[in-house]
Amino acid sequence: MLIPPAWRPRVDASYTAPKAVLFRINPLRAPDAAAVWAGLVPLRPEPVVGVADVFRLPSSDRDTLTHHPLAADGSLYIQGIASMAAVWALDPQPGEEVLDLAAAPGGKTSLIAACMNNQGRLAAVEPVRARFFRLKANLQRLGVRNAQLYLKDGTVVGRLVPGRFDRVLLDAPCSSEAQFTRLNPASWAHWSLKKVRNSAALQSRLLRSATEALKPGGVLVYSTCSLSPEENECVLDALLRERDDLQPEALPWPVDLPALPGLTAWDGRPLHRDLVLARRVLPTEWTDTFFLCRLRKRG
């Protein structure tokens, strides 16, 4: 994939340098953001322009923040900005029914609950037992009260509750290319083309389930932390060819992130032209690799 030359030095450097640490203040535990800010002194977080209560610290503060009492009690949550952007793209509202189809460890689930102000119903699905219990513990710590948790394979959910949800997030399991860093060779030790292919097959099944579970008129956000078109545009293109009731939409995009439009051709093959509305966030000194697409099911 062609990274524009202007981005190249920052993207290349991101593989060898530690990243800034991003965090958000969690209103479900800390309604007074100023008190959290004061509790962080002597750390000096910089606000992220465009969004309230999201801050950035240099990488050298990561350990201090990770072990800070305000992180331990759920007043703040360390989370990549592109992960937050997946929830901003979903735009969940209080009182709605929302499905998070691949939820553990719960970073996005907890932000969805915060956007819903704990009102309405949030269903969170995770099939891996150890991850399910981590999800449960995290949501408790973060003050989430409107979530019901299901230890379940997400591929069957659409069949069980067709047309049920106002919004569905599928933050799909993937080959995790976002984790690559030259600082740690183990970060790519488990990556392979086979893993990309297997991920794409599971993503397709989960995406069909997510679409089934969505109400007519509802919003679906598909995201992965991989760059590969096979796990992103190609999976979406196959679905869009099967169904004419799904329409990609522009993403609400409150923060100026280093992102490229989705691809409309790959490997000599044309893809659905509206996939241009998807976004591929590039890895830089403050962002992680991420792919996002928002779709609406026609009413």
**Catalytic one of 115, 174, 225, 293:** 225
Residues numbered 164-223 forming contacts with ligand SAM, rule: CB under 6 A: 171, 173, 206
Sequence-distant (≥ 6) Cβ neighbours of residue 167 within 8 angstroms: 90, 91, 92, 96, 98, 99, 214, 218, 219, 220, 221
Structure tokens at 125: 């699905």
Identity of the residue, 70 or 101, whose beta carbon is nearer to ligand SAM in the bound complex:
101
- Region near ligand SAM per CB under 6 A, out of 35-43, 97-105, 191-199, 272-280: 97-105
Of 25, 111, 146, 13, the C-alpha closest to 74 is 25
- Active site (annotated) includes residue 115: no
> Which of 11, 128, 161, 260 lies at the binding interface for ligand SAM (CB under 6 A)?
128
53 near ligand SAM (CB under 6 A): no
131 near ligand SAM (CB under 6 A): yes
Contacts 24+ apart (CB under 8 A), 238-241: 238/204, 239/204, 239/207, 239/208, 239/211, 240/272, 240/274, 240/275, 241/272
45 near ligand SAM (CB under 6 A): no
Beta strand residue intervals within the chain, DSSP E: 21-25, 46-47, 54-57, 76-78, 97-100, 121-125, 147-150, 165-171, 214-224, 246-249, 259-261, 265-266, 269-270, 279-281, 290-297
> Which of 27, 80, 154, 229 lies at the binding interface for ligand SAM (CB under 6 A)?
154
Tell me the number of residues near ligand SAM by CB under 6 A: 20
Closest separation in Å from C-beta 175 to ligand SAM: 11
- Region near ligand SAM per CB under 6 A, out of 23-31, 124-132, 257-265, 280-288: 124-132
Identity of the residue, 57 or 103, whose beta carbon is nearer to ligand SAM in the bound complex:
103
> Which of 105, 196, 266, 276 lies at the binding interface for ligand SAM (CB under 6 A)?
105
Question: What is the per-residue DSSP string for 160-173?
Answer: HSTT-EEEEEEE--
262 near ligand SAM (CB under 6 A): no
Task: Work out the widest C-alpha separation in the chain, in whole angstroms.
Answer: 55
The secondary structure element, H or E, covering residue 36 is: helix 33-39
Closest separation in Å from C-beta 99 to ligand SAM: 11
83 near ligand SAM (CB under 6 A): yes
Binding interface with ligand SAM (CB under 6 A)? 83, 101-108, 125-128, 131, 153-155, 171, 173, 206
